[in-house]
Each structure stands twice: as structure tokens, then as C-alpha cells.
Structure 1
């Protein structure tokens, strides 16, 4: 059962990444520029959100960002389910935390779809 729940959290990571990608693709028209912007944003947010370093080593403002940023938070939730709290450093499966992950992931996906469909997806 924990594996299925972990897959659900990883699906939220996919929704968030797709939303962010759609937002970037809406405003950066050239393929190479959009790819480089996406990679840059991914590396920076991964570095400051605790994906590259243990949660305990992050300063308090970055620990807060790690709990709010849907990709790192959902990843921590999946890791918690599969490997335990000692690996993650905190319990990300509180009701408020899970609700925040779901809400922000869906918000970014819906925002990305909405922006892309209104500003970029035009029939000529």
C-alpha cells in the first residue's frame, strides 16, 4: 500500500513539473531558450529545496521552502513512505502538508494549462 501512495505523490511531482513547463513554454517562445530556462529553474529549485542536501542541513528559510515547494515536498513524502522518517528528517504526511502539496500541484498544472491555452495555443 505504501508503494501505491508513493506513486501518487510522484504523480503530483509530474503534475507540478508539467505546470511549470507549460508556464515556461508560454513565455519563452524558442525551444532552446525554454529548455535552458527549465533546466536552470530545476537545478536552482532542487538545490535550495533540499533535493541535493539533507533536510537538516538546510537553513530554516530553505527548510520552509522545501516544505512548500510541491516537487521537494512530494518527493519527501514518497521517500518517507518507502524508506522512513530517518531518511527524510521530518514527517511530511501531516494533513496540512499533504493538502498543501495537492493544492499547489494542481494550481500550477491548471495555471500552466490556462496560460498556455490562452496565450500560446492559437489556431491560425
Structure 2
């Protein structure tokens, strides 16, 4: 995300996920306005898709649980930040840890709350 930007990184992640699907997808439901170029499948971009599609809502929950687990796994490597507690979300405790100790290698340095002076 820091190197490419949020939108290109999102598209890349979507393309990688699509390439790994077995069986292959026969269409795409996409949460938001993003559409994938060079994909020869029907696509439906749905703003606030998790409120309108059970499939998108389920995918959103799976993604959140996966990300939360990644943050818990990072906790022992960055014990001062308590990732297991706040899962990387912008809680008061997380912002206080960044203010006190600075941003780590796993923080998104281009994210507005992390940009200098914390980098």
C-alpha cells in the first residue's frame, strides 16, 4: 500500500485472489466502485456492498477475521503496541503507542495519522 497506493494495491490483491480461486469464478461481486480491467468476467460493483449482498458481507467478515489474526500474530514481535488488543485499529491506546514509540515497519507510513512526525 505504501509503495503503490491504496487503489492499485487493492486491485492487485483482488487479481491475486481471483487467480487462486478453485473452481474459477464465473462472475464478480465487488464492494465499492472498483472494477477490474482485463478480466473477462461479468462484474458488479456495489457501493456499500456488505449491506446489499450476503456474499460480500461474508467475504468482508472473513477478511476482517483474517486481518485480525495477522495482527495478533504480530503482537509478540511488537509488544509495546498491543496489536493483540486493538488489532491495528486507530484506538486511543494504539495512537498513544505510536506517539510514544513511533511507527513500526508494519504500519502504513502513508496513512495520514502515521505520516511524520511518527515515521
Q: What is the TM-score with the length of structure 1 in the denominator?
A: 0.31
Larger helix proportion of the pair:
1
Larger strand proportion of the pair:
2
| Structure number with bigger Rg | 2
Ranked by relative contact order (alpha carbons within 8 Å, sequence separation 6 or more), the top structure is: 1
